[in-house]
Copies of this chain bind each other. A is one copy, B any other.
Amino acid sequence: MHFNNEELGKLEDRYRAKLINSLSGFKSANLIGTTDGKGNHNLAIVSSVFHIGANPPLVGMIMRPHTVTRDTLENILELGEYTINQVNADIWKESHQTSARYEQLVSEFAEAGLTPEWLDGVKAPFVAESRLKYSLLLRQSQTLEINGTVLVIGEINNVLVEDDVIANDGYIDIEALETVAVSGLDSYHVTNRLGRLSYAKPDKKPDVID
């Protein structure tokens, strides 16, 4: 099947949204924990979190200002701190439920059946049920003029992870944590490792190292 530019433009909106959202490949599944500083907590599932750099440790995400993540974005800009919590196979349905359009003062934690967890010195709530989570300080937010979405970049200042999934070289086995991946807008997946590969060099084929 070949869709050219003109054919893509003629697709019905919801059909195009599902088709185009499938193209980037598998996406991360994360819950963004925030608070408004007045005791109102928000939790929103986001599939657009991506790695930007390791030193300093930077993570980015794309937010849509006119969707249900609006409260989350406002909280991040207001407080300057937020948490990212990996979604795992025990909480994939609860996590999806946070994408419903709740009223502003309703806590998605309570509605979805997830538990806020606090760490001394961090203003935003973690998700107790998540097995790999971290807090970030807001470093940059920028509206992308091309479509009005907002690029949010944070620097990681605390990482919480189960001990026994960190390999000797620092790699975290997120498959062992049953972290899920997303495809399209609404499909959730667990994974089976094909293998880890050695650092690629021009004159040899990569070795499977795990």
Contacts and interface: CB of A to CB of B under 8 A. Distances in A.
Contacts of A157: 4-5, 8
Interface stretch (A33-41, A70-78, A193-201): A193-201
A78 B172 CA distance: 38
B16 A25 contact: no
Interface string A79-111: 000001011010011001111111000100001
A151 to B, nearest CB: 7
A135 to B, nearest CB: 9
Interface in A14-35: 14-30
A115 interface: no
B56 A27 contact: no
- Please give the count of copies of this chain that the complex contains: 2
Say what secondary structure dominates the interface of chain A.
Answer: mixed
A166 B179 CA distance: 26
Contacts of A139: 146
Contacts of A174: 22, 25-26, 183-184
The 6 A-B pairs with the shortest beta carbon distances in the complex, nearest first, are A25-B28, A18-B170, A22-B172, A15-B170, A189-B191, A26-B181
